[in-house]
Amino acid sequence: MARRSIAAADIADYATAHSTPPDEVQRALQTATTEIAGPFAGMQIGADQGAFMSVLVSILQPAFAVEVGTFTGYSSLAIAKALPEGGRLLCCDISEEWTDVARDHWAKAGVADRIDLVIAPAVETLAALPADQQIDFAFIDADKTGYRSYYEEILQRLAPQGVILIDNTLWGAQVLADSGAEDDDTQAIRALNDFLATDERVEVAQLTLGDGVTMVRRR
């Protein structure tokens, strides 16, 4: 499965070519993911989205960041390498196999000591966080039917200046009513998008980056 981009391939490639390129470890991870994950390699975020996330994290300077859906580690690397001194990243996933690749590349990038990986359903990991654990940055990119639960667990702990990014929210344009798609993932993303647009607790920007990235902050 190729990485899905909501933009036409030529303009998506142009955007990637005009963003800060992946570093050596990120390039190695792209190659390793293609080799190891085969048809699942398209789950990895693109280099342009990784560059965007690194810039954002560098600005936000989060003391505590959360990622829901780590896979082989590209997005977590983009976050971890931009963390400030002492910043921590909690990674949630259910796959030992995919996250072994992530661990390997975190070590190569010298960021393993700032990441805590928990292998368990993410809703359990998030619910187990202390109620007063402030989250400064979060990236949600796991099973689509779980997104709403992850959003609620994170939002209740989101710092006043914190940001949540939610991935795949345009879902290859299948969110459009006339797409004909009615599978559970599409319906879950549509329902979340409709909910977010009217959620008075937050301010929302739907970005046409990658496969659609929704950016949320508290009002």
Find the binder of ligand SAM among 25, 37, 56, 92 (CB under 6 A): 92
x/- binding map, residues 24-63, to ligand SAM, per CB under 6 A? -------------------xxx------------------
Q: Which residue, 141 or 153, has its beta carbon nearer to ligand SAM? A: 141
Using CB under 6 A, count the residues that bind ligand SAM.
20
Q: Please tell me the distance from the alpha carbon of residue 216 to that of residue 219, in angstroms, as a whole number.
A: 9
Give the per-residue SS3 of 154-184. Answer: HHCCEEEEEEEEEECCCHHHCCCHHHCCCCH
Q: Please report how close the Cβ of residue 132 comes to ligand SAM at its closest, in angstroms.
A: 23
Distance of alpha carbon 156 from the chain centroid: 18
Find the binder of ligand SAM among 65, 109, 142, 175 (CB under 6 A): 142
Q: Which residue, 127 or 197, has its beta carbon nearer to ligand SAM? A: 127
Task: Kindly state whether residue 72 participates in binding ligand SAM, applying the rule CB under 6 A.
Answer: yes
Which one, of 114, 205, 119, 117, lies nearest residue 165 by Cα? 205
Q: Which residue, 95 or 187, has its beta carbon nearer to ligand SAM? A: 95
Q: Please tell me the distance from the alpha carbon of residue 131 to that of residue 136, in angstroms, as a whole number.
A: 14
Q: Please tell me the distance from the alpha carbon of residue 4 to that of residue 16, in angstroms, as a whole number.
A: 13
